[in-house]
Amino acid sequence: MNRYAELIDQLKHKKKLETDYQVAKLLHLDNKIIYAVRAGKRPLDLYAITRIATELNLDPMTLLADLHKDLEKNEVKRGFWRDFFYAATHTKAVLAVLTLTAFCAIASGIGETRANPLTEKTLYERRRLLWLLGEAHP
């Protein structure tokens, strides 16, 4: 199965659609386009990818990069999409860790009248976590 067909199936599953005709109607596309995509005769266009990303609550640019990092035939362009995808997902991971760390710090301080000082061990652990995230590049 091609990546575009997998994306259509994800959308069908999430929206509880039973037919490709329903997918085409949801995306405001001719159902012949969906059939051609499934048959591998054409890719989804930018409009369809963006609509699917929106329906799946995904960032359209990240989804576009994820598809093109594997499907692009030109090596230079494929490298661009790979780097873009890594940067987009890496940034989100770092922000998620920082948000979680802040939330935990706030939650653990509830009811206390004084702030807990950061120990050297805590700072080391946080720097190490950020370093490990930075080393996650494929």
Q: What is the pLDDT of residue 108?
A: 65
**Residue 88 sits in the same domain as residue 118:** yes
Q: Which residues of the chain have pLDDT under 70?
A: 1, 92-96, 105, 107-118, 130-138
| Residue at 41 is within a domain | yes
Residue 71 lies in a domain: no
Query: Are 54 and 80 found together in one domain?
Result: no
Would you say 49 and 39 are in contact if contact means Cβ atoms under 8 Å apart?
no
12: domain range? Answer: 3-58
Question: What pTM does this model have?
Answer: 0.60
- Measured between alpha carbons, how far is 40 from 88 in angstroms, rounded to an integer? 28
Position 138 scores a pLDDT of: 41
**Residue 16's CATH number:** 1.10.260.40
Is 20:31 a contact under the CB 8 Å cutoff? yes
Claim to verify: residue 37 and residue 10 sit in the same structural domain:
yes
The verdict on 48 and 88 lying in the same domain is no
Q: How far is CA 107 from CA 24, 111, 112, 117, in A?
A: 46, 9, 10, 15
Q: Let me know whether 41 and 89 are in one domain.
A: no
Do the domain assignments include residue 127? yes
Encoded tokens for 115: 């702030």
Number of separate domains in the chain: 2
What pLDDT is recorded for position 117? 63
- Let me know if residue 68 belongs to a domain: no
Q: What's the gap between Cα 84 and its chain centre?
A: 12
